[in-house]
Amino acid sequence: MRLLLAATLSVPAALLATGCVGLTPIIASDTGCSALVADSLIAPVPGTKAPEKVEYPDEVIFAGSPLDYANAMIDALILDKAGWEKFGVEQTGQLKKANRDKADIVKTVGDCEARDRAAVRNAQPRFKIF
């Protein structure tokens, strides 16, 4: 009977002692969340190359033929406009890449911080004895 009583009382005492003494320390990671950000996201996004200069026709060459000069001028204008339109579209694409990279960085760091907070919260004891 004494043995049964001693065993019955020793189990809760051992659990209490383990709860007070055996807590695992919470150690933060050596590296910060920014270390998880890929180098490719930090690298600058280059702009696109400006269009080549378009040579406009010289009116002197077309002397005596105003219609030919007008047609050559229209062709040059169309070519010049197309080059600048292409440049605008490509530059907008580069800007979208840069903005996406920034959003990815913020999300990566935010997810890391949330993960760390959850790890600390889950590692803390759920009850206090004293």
73-97 pLDDT, tens digit each: 999 999 999 999 999 999 999 999 9
Alpha carbons 97 and 79: distance in angstroms, whole number: 27
Which pLDDT does position 12 carry in this prediction? 57
**Model's pTM, two decimal places?**
0.55
Which pLDDT does position 25 carry in this prediction? 62
Residue 19 located in a structural domain = no
Which pLDDT does position 9 carry in this prediction? 53
Q: Which residues of the chain have pLDDT under 70?
A: 1-30, 125-130
Domain that holds residue 46: 30-123
Q: What domain count does the chain have? A: 1
Residue (of 48, 19, 39, 14) closest to 105 by Cα position? 39
Residue 20 located in a structural domain = no
Residue 106 located in a structural domain = yes
Q: What's the whole-number average pLDDT of the chain?
A: 81
Residue 51 located in a structural domain = yes
